[in-house]
């Protein structure tokens, strides 16, 4: 088979861009739904940016392609590892001869020490809070690293996986490139970043020296096509082979009926939550937050999204995460919601200023929520912006409510730490994604993180969730599964059961058959 080209196409209003692709015998074209990348620094990236970087970086360990199961973690840049008897020290033995992109030499212990310390530093990482258990990272020799912990951490391997802060980069590249590194980060994965043309594309090229073997695909154009209809039309006409799909039941049903198409629906799903910003009046009053919770009908939202793609939540911790406790008990009660607003001094209702992303997996659902809240006298003044702007503004405390979806390593600690610990509050030096300014369960979150007894850990997580629910820091909604559509000619090179980085990973084995 000839070498293939993967053109990853994303966001435009028409299709003249197809003429710009280099002529090749075999071309795999893929489209995602955003107007541009937001941040492709490996220790800052989320969402679509993480999808892109999953093809560029490796971790010490990895989720095998096609899996999001923590029990399936396997060696990646580390060939093997062992833990001390007390669980407070782990030693990792690195592969020899792994090469960085761009001529930045071979992977060594210096790169691992640098990368993990960088990921743990709030000045350089959005995931620093998840490294709370790490006391030090020490080079033992050129291919051996020891990680010392403050306390035993059962989730350490997940922290070091090919996901978020676990991505390993070149120390030399960061120091040499300076600010340019964030636009063209250097990894060891099957593809390297060649260029970024804003609001058009990121071009990836095959890493011929990839330690698992040279990719069968030569090149990836990661283009930005925000328009769902443009992506869909190009897919129907055969001009696109793989697209980020609409996570809507009607769309899934229609595409499944096409004889030449395959719809992949998988997790990690992104757990949709409505975060209530307690720093903005009148949301500092728990009665107002309770009214919001009582005005929202999650069952109606799930029906709107569709049974194939939405799974109702029952906690601020996503479904099937270890430690999830179904203690969210609010049910729709418009009369009680109105009474609570009146009791809080707002008999005529309230108006909230809300920033909303224009992407198809967010805006329609926020419009449903807007209609539901209006029945209780809660008016949403929605400012609809493109997704990168939305990501910026919600971290600048510009929205009274934040509708947010995220997939994380599937244990309760990762979600509670990132979204509900006070250290993660937006605006702080250690900020992550605590949009609600929640601070009521810090002690329980920290206790569970350090707890060596599994039963006591679960008990601490349960109490944390109960406190967060009682305070109504947020309203848990549903888990939205990943939806991608591909031509039957596309072969990922593995069985797709899940993806920790929320997109089908393009690996050295991916091909397209003509």
Do 452 and 378 share a structural domain?
A: yes
Tell which of 174, 207, 233 closes a domain: 174
Determine the average pLDDT of the residues in 477-488.
Answer: 94
Tell which of 123, 139, 174 closes a domain: 174
Do 498 and 466 share a structural domain?
A: no
Question: What per-residue confidence (pLDDT) applies to 7?
Answer: 46
Do 408 and 319 share a structural domain?
A: yes
Which pLDDT band, with edges at 50, 70 and 90, does 22 fall under? very low
Share of the chain above pLDDT 70, in %: 95
Do 65 and 37 share a structural domain?
A: no
Which pLDDT band, with edges at 50, 70 and 90, does 193 fall under? very high
**pLDDT over 90 (residue 38):** no
Domain extent, residue 354, equals 269-480
182 located within any domain: no
Please report, for the domain that includes residue 71, its CATH number.
3.90.76.10
Q: At CA 57, angle to CA 55 and CA 135, rounded to 5? A: 150
CB atoms within 10 A of CB 456: 12
Do 128 and 211 share a structural domain?
A: no
**pLDDT over 60 (residue 501):** yes
Please report, for the domain that includes residue 401, its CATH number.
3.10.105.10
pLDDT averaged over the chain? 91
Tell which of 117, 148, 174 closes a domain: 174
d(CA 139, CA 407): 32
CB atoms within 10 A of CB 433: 24
Q: At CA 304, angle to CA 301 and CA 308, rounded to 5? A: 105
255 located within any domain: no
- N- to C-terminal Cα separation, the chain: 9
Question: What per-residue confidence (pLDDT) applies to 20?
Answer: 45
Q: Is the pTM of this model over 0.85?
A: no
Do 214 and 299 share a structural domain?
A: no
Do 388 and 358 share a structural domain?
A: yes
Do 288 and 377 share a structural domain?
A: yes
d(CA 484, CA 461): 33
284 located within any domain: yes
CB atoms within 10 A of CB 152: 16
């Amino acid at each position: 088979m000839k070498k293939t080209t993967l053109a990853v196409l994303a966001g435009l209003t028409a299709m003249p861009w197809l003429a710009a692709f280099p002529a090749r015998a075999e071309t795999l074209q893929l489209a995602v739904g955003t107007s541009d990348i937001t941040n492709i620094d490996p220790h800052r990236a989320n969402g679509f940016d993480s999808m892109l970087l999953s093809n560029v970086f490796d971790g010490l360990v990895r989720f095998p392609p096609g899996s999001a199961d923590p029990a399936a973690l396997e060696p990646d840049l580390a060939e093997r590892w062992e833990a001390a008897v007390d669980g407070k020290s782990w030693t990792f033995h690195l592969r020899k001869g792994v090469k960085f992109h761009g001529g930045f030499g071979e992977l060594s212990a210096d790169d691992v020490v640098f990368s993990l310390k960088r990921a743990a530093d709030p000045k350089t990482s959005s995931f620093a809070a998840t490294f709370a258990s790490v006391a030090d990272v020490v080079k033992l020799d050129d291919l051996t690293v020891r990680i010392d912990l403050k306390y035993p951490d059962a989730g350490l391997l997940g922290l070091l996986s090919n996901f978020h802060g676990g991505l390993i980069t070149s120390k030399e590249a960061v120091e040499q490139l300076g600010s340019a590194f964030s636009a063209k980060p250097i990894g060891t994965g099957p593809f390297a970043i060649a260029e970024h043309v804003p609001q058009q594309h990121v071009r990836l090229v095959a890493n011929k020296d990839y330690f698992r073997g040279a990719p069968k695909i030569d090149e990836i154009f990661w283009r930005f096509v925000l328009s769902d209809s443009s992506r869909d039309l190009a897919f129907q006409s055969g001009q696109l082979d793989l697209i980020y799909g609409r996570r809507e039941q009607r769309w899934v049903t229609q595409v499944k009926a096409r004889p030449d198409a395959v719809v992949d629906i998988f997790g990690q799903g992104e757990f949709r939550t409505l975060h209530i910003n307690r720093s903005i009046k009148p949301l500092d009053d728990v009665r107002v937050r309770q009214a919001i919770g009582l005005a929202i009908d999650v069952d109606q939202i799930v029906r709107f999204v569709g049974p194939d793609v939405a799974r109702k939540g029952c906690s601020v911790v996503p479904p099937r995460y270890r430690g999830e406790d179904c203690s969210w008990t609010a049910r729709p009660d418009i009369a009680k919601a109105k009474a609570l607003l009146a009791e809080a001094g707002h008999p005529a209702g309230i108006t909230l200023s809300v920033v909303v992303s224009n992407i198809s997996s967010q805006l329609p659902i926020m419009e449903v929520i807007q209609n539901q809240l209006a029945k209780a006298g809660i008016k949403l003044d929605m400012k609809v912006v493109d997704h990168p702007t939305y990501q910026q503004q919600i971290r600048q405390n510009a929205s009274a409510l934040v509708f947010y979806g995220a997939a994380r390593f599937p244990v309760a600690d990762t979600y509670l730490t990132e979204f509900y610990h006070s250290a993660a509050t937006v605006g702080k030096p250690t900020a992550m994604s605590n949009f609600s300014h929640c601070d009521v369960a810090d002690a329980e979150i920290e206790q569970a993180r350090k707890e060596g007894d599994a039963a006591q850990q679960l008990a601490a997580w349960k109490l944390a969730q109960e406190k967060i629910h009682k305070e109504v820091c947020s309203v848990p909604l549903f888990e939205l599964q990943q939806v991608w559509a591909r031509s039957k000619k596309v072969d990922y090179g593995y069985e797709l059961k899940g993806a920790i980085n929320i997109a089908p990973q393009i690996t050295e084995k991916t091909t397209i058959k003509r």
